[in-house]
Amino acid sequence: MNKPLILVVEDDGTVRNLITTTLKSNDYRFLTAPDGESAIGAASTRQPDIVLLDLGLPDMDGVEVISRIRSWSQMPIIVISARSEDADKISALDAGADDYLTKPFSVAELLARLRVTQRRLAALESKNGESVFRNGSLTIDYGAGCAYMNDVPLKLTPTEYKLLCLLAKDVGKVLTHTYLTDKIWGSSWESDMASLRVHMATLRKKIETDPDTQYIQTHIGIGYRMLKI
Ligand code: CA
C-alpha cells in the first residue's frame, strides 16, 4: 500500500514544521499550503488522503476552505484550531470537517487523530454495499431495522435507533449536537439539545453494558463520537 498523502494547511511556519517532521518520521507523505487558496488548489490537483487544516488562515476562514472542498469531495479533513476559536471549531464540524485538534497539541495526539481517520476511511470502504454494520460486539442490521449486542436484540426506541445509526454511519467521527438534533427533529432548539442528552444517556445505558468497552465518547460542548472498537 502507498504511504498516505497528507495536505498540511498552516500559515505558521513553526507549527507546519512540527507537523511535517512528525509526518516524515512516521511514514506519511505530505504537501503543504500556507493559505486557503493554495490549499483548495492542492486538494483538487493532488487528491490527498487526509487534509490537516488550520482555521486561522491569512486569506480566508478555514471554514470556507471546508465548504469549498465539500462541494466536490468527501476527503477527510481534520481541523487544527486555537482554543480561542471554539465557536469556529463547531462551525467547522458542521461544515463537514471530520475531526479536530486543539492547539497546542502533542505529536502523539496528532498521530492518534490520523490513525482514527484512516480507520474510519477503511471501515467506510469495506462496508460499501453492506447492509450490516459491525463494531466490536455491536451489530446493526439496517435491512431489518434492528440492533444487537452480542447477538442479543437491543430494545431501542425509534429515536435511540436513529441516533445509533447516525453515529455508526460516521464511526470515528465527532458529530455535533446541532447536526444530530437537526437530523432527528429537523431543528436544534435548546429543548432539542436537552432531549438529545436524555436519549443519548438511555442509548448508552443499553449498549454499554460491558464496563470495559466504551462505544460512545462525549465531547463536552461539541457533540458525540462512536469509537471504532
Ligand atoms: Ca493560523
The whole-number pLDDT of residue 125 equals 64
**Looking up cell 480507520, which residue turns up?**
119
> Are 111 and 26 a contacting pair, CB within 8 Å?
yes
Q: How far is the CA of 156 from the centre of ligand 1 (A)?
A: 44
Write the pLDDT tens digit of every residue in 86-112. 788 888 988 989 989 988 899 999 999
Cα angle for residues 36, 14, 74 (degrees, 5° grid): 35
The pLDDT of 150-157, averaged and rounded, is 92
Q: How far is the CA of 89 from the centre of ligand 1 (A)?
A: 13
Strands 132-135 and 138-141: antiparallel
Q: How far is the CA of 8 from the centre of ligand 1 (A)?
A: 12
Cα-based distances in Å from 11 to 32, 60, 194, 203, 211:
9, 11, 39, 42, 43
* Domains contained in the chain, CATH given: 5-124 (3.40.50.2300), 128-226 (1.10.10.10)
Cis geometry, peptide bond prior to residue 211 (ω within 30 degrees of 0): no
